[in-house]
A and B are shown apart, each in its own frame.
Chain A
Amino acid sequence: MDEFGASGTALGRPAPAAVRAGLMPSGFASPAQDWFEDRIDLNRHLIKDITSTYIVRVSGHAMDGAGISDGDELIVDRALQPRDGSVVIAVLDGELIIRRLRITNADPSTNTAGTGEGTGTSVALIAASSAYPPIPVPDPDDLVIWGVATRCLHHV
Chain B
Amino acid sequence: MSDPAPPTQPGPGSAASPLSSGVALVDVNNFYVSSERAFDPSLEGRPLVVLSNNDGCVITRSAEAKALGIPMGAPWFQIAEQAKAWGLQVRSSNYELYGDMSARVMEVLGRYTTDLEIYSIDEAFLTLDGTHGEQHVTGRIIKASVRRNTGLPVCVGIAPTKTLAKLANRWAKGNPNFDGVCHWDLVPEDQRQSLLHRLKVTDIWGVGTRNGARLNAIGIDTAWDLAAADPVLIRKRFSVVLMRTVLELQGTPCITSIESTGNEQVFFSRSFANPVNSRDAMQQALSVYAQGAASRLARKNLQGRVLTAFAGTSPFSTGTKSSPSICIPLPAHTANPLDLTRAAHKLLPLIEEGVPYIRAGVIITDLQPVGTQDALLTLDLDSGANTGQTPGKDAGPLLHEIGQKFGRSSIGLGHAGLKAGSEWTMKRDMLSPHYTTKWTDLPVVKAQ
Contacts and interface: CB of A to CB of B under 8 A. Distances in A.
Contacts of A2: 306, 308, 327, 365
A51 B96 CA distance: 16
Contact of B323 (A18, A49, A57, A73): A18
A15 B103 contact: no
A16 B326 CA distance: 12
Interface in B21-55: 40-44
A73 B100 contact: no
A58 interface: yes
A148 to B, nearest CB: 11
B437 A9 contact: yes
Contacts of A74: 445
B151 interface: yes
Contacts of A6: 103, 106-107, 327
Contact of B448 (A7, A18, A62, A94): A62
B327 A5 contact: yes
Contact of A91 (B41, B438, B442): B41
Contacts of B325: 8, 15-16
Interface string B119-153: 00000000000000000000000000000111100
A96 B442 contact: no
A56 B444 contact: yes
Contacts of B226: none
A62 B447 contact: yes
B315 interface: yes
B446 interface: yes
B149 A52 contact: yes
Interface string B76-105: 000000000000000000001001101111
B118 interface: yes
A51 B445 contact: no
Contacts, number: 151
Nearest to B306: A5
A4 to B, nearest CB: 4
A23 to B, nearest CB: 10
A78 B151 contact: yes
A49 B148 CA distance: 12
A89 interface: yes
Contact of B149 (A8, A61, A78, A95): A78
B312 interface: yes
Given A10-B436, A96-B41, A58 B445 contact: yes
A132 B447 CA distance: 9
B116 A4 contact: yes
A109 to B, nearest CB: 23
Contacts of B105: 51
B447 A61 contact: yes
B149 A79 contact: yes
Contacts of B444: 56-59, 96
B446 A16 contact: no
B445 A54 contact: no
A143 interface: no
A6 B327 CA distance: 6
A142 B287 CA distance: 50
A134 to B, nearest CB: 14
Nearest to B46: A94
Interface string B7-27: 000000000000000000000
B300 interface: no
A15 B376 CA distance: 37
B328 interface: yes
A51 B149 contact: yes
A46 interface: no
Contact of B350 (A9, A59, A99): A9
A68 B447 contact: yes
Contacts of A59: 444-448
A55 interface: yes
Given A60-B447, A79-B149, A96-B444, A51 B323 contact: no
B328 A7 contact: yes
Nearest to A4: B106
Interface in B202-248: none
B4 interface: no
Contacts of A68: 447
Contacts of B40: 94
Interface in A36-75: 49-52, 54-64, 68, 70, 73-74
Contacts of B421: none
Contacts of B42: 94-95
Contacts of B447: 58-64, 68, 70, 97-99, 127
23 contacts: A4-B110, A5-B99, A5-B327, A6-B327, A7-B99, A7-B100, A7-B327, A9-B326, A16-B325, A18-B314, A18-B315, A51-B104, A52-B148, A56-B443, A56-B444, A59-B448, A62-B446, A79-B148, A91-B41, A94-B42, A97-B446, A97-B448, A99-B447
Given A52-B149, A70-B447, 12 more contacts: A2-B308, A3-B306, A5-B329, A6-B107, A49-B149, A51-B104, A52-B148, A62-B447, A64-B447, A79-B148, A94-B42, A97-B446
The 8 closest A-B pairs by CB, nearest first: A94-B42, A5-B329, A18-B315, A60-B447, A60-B448, A52-B149, A6-B103, A62-B447
Interface of B: 40-44, 96, 99-100, 102-108, 110, 116, 118, 148-151, 305-306, 308, 312-315, 321, 323-329, 350, 365-366, 435-439, 442-448
